[in-house]
Structure 1
Amino acid sequence: MGFNSMDPPVYKAAASGDLRFLKEVRDGDRSVDILFQKTPKNNNVLHIAAQFKQIQFFEEFPNQIQSPLFWATNTKGDTPMHIAARVGCVKLIEFLIDHARKSQTNAADVETGPADAEAHNELLRMANSERDTALHVAVRCGHHDVVILLMDADPELCCYTNNANESPLFLAVCKGFPKIGSCILDKSPASLSFEGVKGVTALHAAVTRNSTCKGFSVPELFCPYMLDIVKMMVTKNPEIIKEVDELGWTPLHYAAFRGNVSAIRSLIKRDSSVAYILDNCGMSALHVAAYGGRIEVMKELIQLRPDTCDLLNHKGQTAVHAAVLGEMPAVIKYILKTPELAGLVNEADNEGNTPLHLAASKSNSILMKALASDPKLDKTATNGHHSKAIDIYLGNNIELVRTISSTYIIKLILEGMVKLLNYPYMPSHNIDINK
């Protein structure tokens, strides 16, 4: 199988920016054909020169063959523009943009470049095999100055997504580059893309960013610079607040899960209806916060929209159930002190299970003890299977109880549970503690 190769003198000339080499070509001392040699990856001399930031090599390149090599792609579909964006060479990007504007080619194929009226945008918008434009590449590598140049040259670049459905704005947020994100939002048209992978938008990503924002030393959990991005996004496109991913999660669900109170406040004040959107399982942002142990988020949600406490998931479960399922005793203690939630402590789900039943099913005595500290707790409530919480707990742990040889320890365990739950009688599980 044949493969391309580039003569070492040609490669070295491009990598070092050897202008004498180009002069020899122009003067006829070297064949012009050698400039069309390619490496095994199909990189031509301009790809190589771009990789090593040899701007003068571009400036002195023979005019008669400029366009074909400027438009040529390597095995990954990268043009010299992609390479320049990847290495962050501002001067070379400026030159390439100017070259595209001045292009006088007439044909419209990749060999000779597009028609001159379209050359500028066509070169900037060329996508590689991953459908990344030069803007995608510059954003991913964090080259802010290159992003500015590209956005100034063609603001529509931010509307393109790659094979992974990633927009440049989404990449900027995910990579932790708030300054780049701000630049894109400032210079973008109204139709810019917020899209990302699996339905996740740039706003979803922004509310999850923490102190790893690049270029900043931020002690807080939530990067304040990214909060500015959040505000810019919802101003640019208010409807994005309600966009859901494949799980049915809105940006508010993400903010609740991450514990970003400032983002919660910003989103709800912009559009309070988002607090009532349920995901594919019927979980609200309050459910998510309770499950994840995000007490400060719960406080903010209840303060802003107190009736969200009434929201039920598809199983008929409240935020109190969610706190138990997440095994968050600290949240249970907070709930019992919160009037809006404390009244839900005895509420049963669609199967008749109260939060205490769920705690028992998890064999979590810490959760059960936290719930039992509430004098209003109904410790004898039965579920749809006519089981009390103590029945469930002992049923789940019966094998453990049977294997303990010390009758004294068994008695302590059973009496402890009875005392804890104020159980009115000793349940019959065919255990003879006097053996």
Structure 2
Amino acid sequence: MDSERRMNPALYKAATQGKVSSLRQLVDPEDPSVLSATTPQRNTALHLAALHGHAEFAGDVLDMNEELLVTRNDDGDTPLHLAAKAGKLEVAKLLVNRALAWPQDKKNPLIMTNKAGDTALHEAVQYGRGAVAVVVLDADPNRGHDLNERMESPLDMAAREGLVQVVQKIVSSHWVGQEFLPSISLSGTALHQAVLGTHHRIVEILLDKRPDLIDLTDSDGNNALHYAAQKDHQRAVEMLLKKRTELAYKRNHLSMSPLHVAAQYGSTDTIKALLRHCPDVVEMADSYGRNAFHTSVISGKANALRCLLRRVRPAELLNRVDTYGDTPLHLAAKMSRVHSALMLINDSRVDPCVRDHDGQTARSLVEKKLHTGEMDAYEMYLWKQLRYQESKRCHNKQLPPLATYPSRRGNDKYFERIVETYILVATLIATVTFAATFTMPGGYNQTTGIALQGHHVAFQIFVVSNTIAMCSSIVVVFCFIWAWQDPVRFKVDQLLWGHRLTVIACLGMLVSLMTAVYITVEPVSRWPAYVVIAIGTSTPAVVFLMLGREVIFVPL
């Protein structure tokens, strides 16, 4: 067949370079069958000309063989598809004009789809070719609502890509039909897409021109406000709530409100906006009986929990139990959300005495790991705080029995290495700082034995910081010497403070270094002294940036 003929290399070169003169030499107007030859991808010369933007060449090809306008390649693309993808405006105009003149009894290139179900307009929009999309829409405005195999229309794609002019053109034309099917659409309406892409101008246009979209949902039951909550787009949240306040109370198929979604994703700006407009939305519970506090704990979004604690007053909501009898504090204890649990127990409204359906408090849930040896330093610290809060606030409540420290466990090589490391570091710091006491920066008066720089402020800082470093390290050494007597008690009560004192000792030694260099070097050469101070000052910041809050906890 002609369609399977391999293209002449000369014709391929002419098509890709747009050489009209070569085309006329290669093709006999009386027998243009050579134009039916294709590349291995089944691209014709017209496909190539469209892809490379050679409008004059494409026009000559169509004059010789008009049927090439609807020829498809291996991907199902027509030449108009390729021009739309590549954003070749002049070629697109030519092909659209030819399509308008196409016989009505034949399938029009404007509505032809490729293997993905995309029309040329779909391709133009998803590749951000706004000018080409406008040309296609000028020819046939209704193409803006065609659905591809993913059930997306060009309007949906344009809203996602932020093509304001294209969206305006589509919604400005009158159209009647089934635009959106909530039961089968995975990505929602054009309004959902505009919210996801933070294209606020498009959100405004759609709310004005197509207000019917605001009540529609995606296949999971999420409305546009659910999407705005997910992405924490405060401006979109404000616009949607101003248009339809009831959106804040709509649930998706999991019975989650937009506030639940905001708590799940840690969207603090959305939480603030929702509570400002609809303060009672915090009372809504999902299908498991969980409110936004539960959701923020489960998702581990401590920032969302903090935001809720600051803006929600009723204590009942903080202590609400779900269908399993769990309060947010129970969930934090079960899931080892230590940061969230500490925030909750530090709030006087949270009741640590509540028991779940199994009769467990948050404290008893945490201490289950104590005997198994699975409790890390974070959980040990949390357990201590929960024990303290129970002893302080639960005098008249029936509680699960308080677990005692388990007997000493067998060999724990990792624990041994931790203790050995701390003792080694603390001993080195104590040795160095002790030696620095007798080699004071600036030296001594050989007659009186008094430090020569004793009057200097930097010297006084050196003495204090050096003493702090030495004493802190000595305390660590003595604490860790008795670590072997009861490792579990040591981990709970002393290890964390030993770690913090080691950090303090390191900081004290760092200050000693900077002041000693300043005292001895600055009078002779200033810039090295200032460089040392800059490096020393930035060192704690670098460590904190690398480790975050974990700096104050033991890596155990």
Scaled by the length of structure 2, the TM-score of the pair is: 0.65
- Contact conserved, 2:232 with 2:269, CA < 8 A, in 1? yes
Residue 69 of structure 1, CA deviation: 1.4
Question: SS at 1:330's partner residue?
Answer: helix
Residue 30 of structure 2 is aligned to residue 11 of structure 1: no
Q: Report the structure, 1 or 2, having the larger helix content.
A: 2
- The equivalent residue for 2:43 is 43
Check 1:61–1:303 CA distance in 2 against 1; reply closer, same or farther (3 A cut).
Answer: same
**Distance of aligned partners of 1:402 and 1:340 in 2 relative to their CA distance in 1, 3 Å threshold:** closer
Whether 1:208 aligns to 2:196 is: yes
**In the alignment, what sits opposite 2:139?**
153
The answer to whether the 8 Å contact 2:230/2:265 transfers is yes
> Secondary structure at the residue paired with 2:40?
coil
Q: Shift in Å at residue 296 of structure 1?
A: 2.1
Query: Structure 1 residues 414, 382: CA separation in 2 closer, same or farther (over 3 Å shift)?
Result: closer
1:284-329 deviation per Cα after TM superposition (whole angstroms, max 9, x unaligned) = 1111112222222112112212221221111111112112222233
Give the equivalent residue in structure 1 for 2:75.
Answer: 76
Structure 2 CA distance for partners of 1:75 and 1:306, relative to 1, 3 Å: same
How many residues get paired?
401
Structure 2 residue aligned with 1:89: 88
The residue aligned with 2:531 is none
Within 2, Cα distance between the matches of 1:13 and 1:227? 46
State the SS of the aligned residue for 1:359: helix
Unaligned runs of 5+ in 2: 409-484, 487-556
Q: Unpaired segments of 5 or more residues in structure 1?
A: 109-113, 210-222
Q: Does 1:125 align with 2:148?
A: no
Deviations, residues 99-137 of structure 1 (Å, cap 9, x unaligned): 23334x58x4xxxxx2xxxx7xx2211111211111011
1:238 aligns with 2:186: no
Deviates more, 1:147-156 or 1:343-352: 343-352
| Residue of structure 1 in register with 2:128 after alignment | 142
Letter in 1 for 2:11: V
Residue 19 of structure 1: how far off its partner (Å): 2.7
Give the conservation status (yes or no) of the 8 Å contact 2:158–2:167.
Answer: yes
SS at match of 1:60: helix
Q: Give per-residue Cα distances to partners, 1:56-76, cap 9 Å, x unaligned.
A: 12333474x432111211121
Structure 2 distance, partners of 1:277, 1:414, is 39
Amino acid at match of 1:392: L
- Whole-angstrom distance in 1 between the partners of 2:52 and 2:382: 73
Shift of residue 401, structure 1, vs aligned partner: 6.8
In the alignment, what sits opposite 1:57? Answer: 57
Q: Alpha-carbon deviation of 1:377?
A: 2.3
Distance between the aligned counterparts of 2:156 and 2:376, measured in 1?
A: 56
**Aligned residue identity for 1:71:** V
What is the rounded CA distance, in whole Å, between the counterparts of 2:27 and 2:327 in structure 1?
Answer: 85
1:274 CA drift (Å): 1.6
Q: Secondary structure at the match of 1:279?
A: coil
1:418 counterpart residue number: 387
Gap change, CA 1:331 and 1:189, over 3 Å in 2: same
Within 1, Cα distance between the matches of 2:338 and 2:28? Answer: 88
After TM superposition, list the pairs within 5 Å mapping 1:22-421 onto structure 2.
Answer: 22-24=23-25, 31-61=31-61, 63=63, 65-103=64-102, 105=103, 108=105, 114=106, 122-187=108-173, 189=175, 191=177, 193=179, 198-209=186-197, 223=198, 226-340=199-313, 342-400=315-373, 415-421=384-390
Displacement, 1:341? 5.1
Report the alpha carbon displacement of residue 333 of structure 1 after superposing the two structures with TM: 3.4
The CA distance in 1 between the partners of 2:245 and 2:51, in whole Å, is 50
Pick closer, same or farther for the CA change 1:62–1:372 going to 2, 3 Å: closer
Asked if 1 retains the 8 angstrom alpha-carbon contact of 2:366 and 2:383, the reply is no
Alpha-carbon distance, 1:205 to partner = 2.1
Q: Secondary structure at 1:344's aligned position in 2? A: helix
For the structure 1 residues 401 and 159, does the alpha-carbon distance in structure 2 shift closer, same or farther, using more than 3 Å as the test?
closer
Relative distance call for 1:410 and 1:40 in structure 2 (3 A) is closer
Range with bigger deviation, 153-162 or 177-186: 177-186
With over 3 angstroms needed to count, the CA separation of the structure-2 counterparts of 1:401 and 1:16, relative to structure 1, is: closer
How far has the Cα of 1:253 moved from its partner? Answer: 1.1
- Call closer, same or farther: CA 1:85–1:363 in 2, change over 3 Å: closer
The whole-number CA distance in structure 1 between the counterparts of 2:295 and 2:176 is 39
Deviation digits for residues 17-46 of structure 1, max 9, x if unmatched? 333345447776x84221222222222221
Q: 1-side partners of 2:314 and 2:375: how far apart? A: 38
CA distance in 1, matches of 2:134, 2:252: 37
Query: Structure 1 counterpart of 2:17, which letter?
Result: S
Code of the residue aligned with 1:206 in structure 2: it is: A
Equivalent position amino acid for 2:317 in 1: L
Distance 1:342 1:252, change over 3 A: farther
**In structure 1, what is the Cα distance between the partners aligned to 2:311 and 2:355?**
25
Change (3 A) 1:254 1:398: farther
Is the alpha carbon distance of 1:278 and 1:17 closer, same or farther for their aligned partners in structure 2, counting shifts above 3 Å?
Answer: same
TM-score (norm 1): 0.82
Q: CA deviation at 1:191?
A: 4.5
- The percent identity for this pair of structures is 28
3-state SS of 2:196 partner:
coil
The yes-or-no answer on 1:427 pairing with 2:402 is yes
Any idea what the Cα deviations from partners look like across 1:215-258, whole Å, max 9, x if unmatched?
xxxxxxxx4xx112112223333232232223322221111121
Which structure is larger by alpha-carbon Rg, 1 or 2? 2
Residue 382 of structure 1, CA deviation: 1.0
Distance 2:77 2:16 in 1: 17
The answer as to whether partners of 1:156 and 1:192 remain within 8 angstroms in 2 is: no
Q: Which amino acid aligns with 2:124?
A: A
Deviation of 1:139 after TM superposition, in Å, equals 0.9
Shift in alpha-carbon separation, 1:176–1:229, aligned structure 2, 3 A: closer
Structure 1 pair 295–100 and aligned structure 2 pair: CA distance change class (3 A):
closer
Contact 2:341 2:382 in 1 (8 A): no
CA distance in 2, matches of 1:402, 1:77: 60
Give the 3-state SS of the residue equivalent to 2:330 in structure 1.
helix
* RMSD between superposed Cα atoms in Å: 3.2
Shift of 1:185: 3.2
Code of the aligned partner of 1:19: V
1: CA distance, partners of 2:376 / 2:333: 20
Query: Whole-Å Cα distance in 2 between the matches of residues 62 and 330 of structure 1?
Result: 62
8 Å CA contact 2:345, 2:352 repeated in 1: yes
* CA spacing shift, 1:401–1:192, aligned 2, 3 Å: closer
